[in-house]
Amino acid sequence: MYRIIIADDEPLIIRGLKKMMEWGKMDTEVVGEAEDGEQLLNLLDTLEPDIIISDISMPEKTGLDVLKEINKRKLKTKVIFLSGFQEFSYAKEAVTYGAVDYLLKPVSVEELENAINRAKDQIVQEQPEAVWKIEQQNVENVFKEINNFPVKRKKRKLHVSKELLNEGKYFAGVCFVLKGDLVQRIQDSNRFELMRFAVFKEIEEYLEENRNGFVTKRSENSSTIILVLYSTDLQNETETIISRIREIVYGKYGVELIAGIGEITTQADKVEYLYKTAKFSAGIYYFTQKETIYYQSVERVYNYSFEEFEKKCKELTQKILGHDENWKDSFDESLKIIRNLHYGSCYAVESRCIILAMNVCHDLLECKVIDEENRKKLEREVEALRGQNTYEDLKKKFKSIMERFVNECVFYKGNQENDSIFKVKEYISEHFSEDITLEKMAQMVYMNPYYFSAFFKKETGENFKAYLLEVRMKKALQYLMETNMKTYELASQVGYKDVRTFTDKFRDFYGCSPAKYKKNNR
Per-residue pLDDT tens over the stretch 225-280: 888 888 888 899 999 999 999 999 999 988 899 999 998 888 767 777 888 889 88
Task: Kindly list the strands in the beta sheet with 257-265, ordered across the sheet, starting from the edge strand earlier in the chain.
Answer: 213-218, 222-229, 170-178, 257-265, 292-294
Confidence of residue 131 (pLDDT cuts 50, 70, 90): very low
pTM for the model stands at 0.59
Q: What is the pLDDT of residues 382-425, one digit of tens each?
A: 988 988 889 999 999 999 999 999 988 887 654 455 678 888 98
d(CA 300, CA 303): 10
Is the per-residue pLDDT at 48 higher than 80?
Answer: yes
Average pLDDT, the chain: 82
For the ranges 334-338, 445-449, 517-521, the maximum mean pLDDT occurs at 334-338
**Residue 115 main-chain phi, psi, to 5 deg:** -65, -40
Helix residue spans in 168-288 (DSSP H): 182-185, 189-210, 234-253, 271-283, 285-288
Ranges 22-36, 314-328, 486-500: which has the least confidence:
314-328
Are 40 and 34 in contact, with CB atoms under 8 Å apart?
Answer: yes
Higher pLDDT, 141 or 94: 94
Confidence of residue 186 (pLDDT cuts 50, 70, 90): low
Is the per-residue pLDDT at 149 higher than 80?
Answer: no
Higher pLDDT, 516 or 217: 516
pLDDT for res 185? 65
Average pLDDT over residues 23-34: 92
pLDDT for res 386? 85
Ranges 102-111, 209-218, 355-364, 369-378: which has the least confidence:
102-111
